Amino acid sequence: MTGAGSHGDVMTSFQFSKTSGLAWRYAGYIFASLIFIEVMILIPSAVFRYQQLREDLIHEAGHLVELAVDHSNVDSSGIERLISDLLGLNGIVGLAIMPSQHDPVISIGDRVQSDFDFSAFDHHGNILDQDGFIEFGITGTTLPEGMKIVVRLDSTPVFGQLLDYIGMVLFLVVIVAAFLTFASLHITQRLFLLPLAELRSGLLDSIAMQEVVFSNEMLSRPDELGSISRQCRILLKRLFDAKGHLAATNKLLSGELAKRNEGLEKLNDDLTRELASRHVVERDLKKARDRAEKASQAKTEFLSAMSHELRTPLNAIIGFAQILENSRKEPLSERQEKCVRQIRIGGEHLLGLIAGLLDLSKIEAGQIDLEMEPIWPSEVFKEVLELMRSVAQEKEIILEGKRRTDKRILADRDHLKQVMVNLIGNAIKYNRQGGRVEFGCLEEPTGTVCLFVSDTGYGIEEHEIQTIFEPFSRLPNHRETIEGTGIGLTIVRKLVTEMGGEIRCESLVGQGTTFWMDFPVYDLLPKLGKPVYNGHSFKEEHHIEANSGLVLYIEDNPANIALVEMALAEIPDVALVSAPDAEMGIELAKSIKPDLILMDINLPGENGFLAKARLWADEETRAIPVVAISASAMEDDIQLGHDAGFKSYLTKPLDVVRLTDLIRHELQ
C-alpha cells in the first residue's frame, strides 16, 4: 500500500509538474543555477587540464629527444639522422641544433625560431606558444658545449584532448543537474506545491459552493500552510456571514427604497402638475405684467408730458399772481388782493398735486433711486424742524421734537425727510387752532427704532384708518374745508416700505392721531445679517464676520421673522438673513451661500416644496441643508416633507428650544 501510495504521489507530482507553470519555472531556476555553478567550476578545471596536457606533451617530447641525443654518435651526420627519425613522434614537427645566438647548424622539419635567449634556459626553459605550435630549448645533453637543441611541437592534439575532456565533463554536469533538479522539484512539490494546490482548490470550491470545504488534513497541518488554511477558513466564514447579512440588508433597503421611490414619484407627479399649472399661471401673469408695465409706462410718460405742459402755464399763473400780490407801485384793492391770493393758492395746490402724482408714478414704476445709509434720526429732525417751524407758527401750533434714542437706522436721508415733512404737514394742517404736534423716535425691544408724529387734532374714525393710505383718499369731514391732494400718505407708505420700514396709524376721535414708522436698528444689522431692500443699493456695505454662521429664513410673515430673530439672538456668532418669497430666497441662497436655510412651506406664489426642488436641482445650492417650517402638522405632511429631502420638519407653533438646538447642531 505504501509503494502504491508512493507511486501515486509520484504520478500526482509528475501530473502537477506537467500542468503547473510555477513548478516548471521553479525547475528551470534550479537547473539553470546548477548549470551555472558547474560551468564556473569547469572553466578553471579546463585551464588546469590544458596546462597539464601541454606540460605532459613538452616533457615527453623533450625526454625523447634527450634519450636520442645521449645514445647517438657525436658526429653531425649521426645526429642529423637521429633527429630525422624523431619527426612525427610525440607531435615533433621541427628540430634544430644551434650554437647560442647563431643560425642553426642542423635544422630538420619546420623552421624554428633562431633568436632564442639561451641564457634564460634551465633545461626546458623559455617555452614559446605560437599559432598552435610550441617551441622549447633543451640544454645539458651530450652535445658539445655551447650547442643547444630547439624542438617545435604541434599542440593540436592537446586541444583535441581538452575538448574531449570538456565534453565529457559537460555531459556529466547536465546529467547531475537534471537529476538534482527533478529530485528537488519532487521534494518541493510534496512539501509546498501540492499543499498550495490543495489550498487553492479548497478556496475555489468554497467560493463556488458558498461554504467552507477545506480538508481535515490541510487544517490539521502543524506548519505555516496549516495556519494559512485555518485563517482562510475563518476569513471565508466571516465573508459568507457578511455576504448573507449584506443580502438581507440589501433586501430591506430595496423595500425601503421602493417605498421611498413611490413617495418620490408621487411627489414628483404632484410637483410636475403644480409646475405645469404654475407655468400656465406664470404665463398669464407675465402677460398681465407686460400689459401692466406698458400701461404704467404709458401712464408715466403721460404724467411726465402733462407735468411739463402744465408747469409752463402754472409758472406764469403763480408768477404773475405773486407779482400782483407784492406790487408796491400799483397796489391792489382788498378785493383784488383776495382774488389774486386765491389764484396763487390754487396754482400752488395744482403744482403740488402734479408733483405728488409724478412721485407716486415713479415709485409705482420702480424708478425711484434710494441711497441707503446709516443716519441718526435726530439729524433729520433738526432739518425738518427748521422747515416746518414757520408753518406751525402761522397756525399757532406748538411743534416739538423729542429724541428718546441715539440708535442709527438705515434709510435714504432725503426721502426720510420728505416722509417726515409730509406727516408733520398733515399734523399741522388737520390740527386745532393752538394745538400741539410732537415728533421723535424711540427704541423698541424688538430691535427696531420707531419714528413717530403725533398731533392733538380731531382724530380719525377707525373705519377710515384702513383707507387713508389709498390714493386720492381724503377724510370726509375735511374734504371741503382743508385742501389736499389725497396722495401724500400713499407716497409716505410706499417710501417707508421701499426703505425697509413699516408704517401704521393709531387715532382716537377728538384726541388726536399718531403715525408710527418702524426701522431696523443699524447697529444690530451685522448680527442679524444684511437685509434686502428690494434691490436698492447701500452707501455702506455690511459684511458678516468670517467665523459666524449664516442662516437664511424664507418667510413672508414679519411676526415669524421677528420670533426667529429673537431666538437667534441667544446664539453667539449667528447671522440671520430673511426673504419674503421663494424667488428672492433662492437668489439669496446662490449669492450668500448660507450654512442653513429655514423654509416656510406655505409661501406666496411658489411653495416651499417647489423651492426645495429648485435648490436641490442647482449645483450651487444642492449641498445647503434645508429645514421645513409649516403649520401643517399631520403625520402625512411630515412624511411628505422628509420624502422631499428636508433636513428636518418643524411645525408651528415653533418650539424655540428645539429650533435653537437644531440650528446649533447644523452649524457645528
Where are the domains positioned within the chain? 25-172, 371-524, 544-667
- From the centroid of its chain, how far is CA 302? 55
Confidence of residue 515 (pLDDT cuts 50, 70, 90): very high
| Other beta carbons less than 10 A from residue 666's beta carbon | 16
**Lookup result for grid cell 543537474:** 177
Question: Does the 25-172 domain belong in CATH 3.30.450?
Answer: yes
Q: Which residue has the higher pLDDT, 633 or 76?
A: 633
Sign of CA dihedral 608, 610, 611, 617: positive
Assess contact for 518 and 450: CB atoms under 8 A: yes
Counting residues of the chain whose pLDDT is more than 70, the rounded percentage is 68
Measured in Å, how far apart are the chain's first and last C-alpha atoms?
Answer: 77
510-539 residues labelled b (16+ CB within 10 A) or e (exposed): eebbbbbbbbbbbeebebbbbbbbeeeebe
* Domain formed by 544-667, architecture: 3-Layer(aba) Sandwich (3.40)
Q: For 385-417, how does the pLDDT look when each residue is reduced to its tens digit (9 = 90+)?
A: 888 888 888 889 999 888 777 788 888 888 898
pLDDT 10s digits, 553-581? 998 887 788 788 888 887 888 888 988 88
| Region of 573 on the Ramachandran plot (φ > 0 left; ψ -120 to 50 alpha; else beta) | left
Q: Report how far residue 399's alpha carbon sits from residue 17's, in angstroms, rounded to the nearest whole number.
A: 117
Helix axes 21-70, 156-188, angle to 10 degrees: 150
Taking the C-alpha atoms of residue 96 and residue 467, their distance in angstroms, rounded to an integer, is 154
Residue 375: what pLDDT? 85
**How high is the pLDDT of residue 56?**
77
Residue 291, all three cell numbers: 400689459
User: Which CATH number is 371-524 given?
Assistant: 3.30.565.10
Confidence of residue 656 (pLDDT cuts 50, 70, 90): confident
pLDDT of residue 596: 94
- Looking at this protein, which amino acid is placed at residue 148? K
Quick one: pLDDT band at residue 516, thresholds 50, 70, 90?
Answer: very high
Average pLDDT, the chain: 75
pLDDT (average), residues 483-498: 79
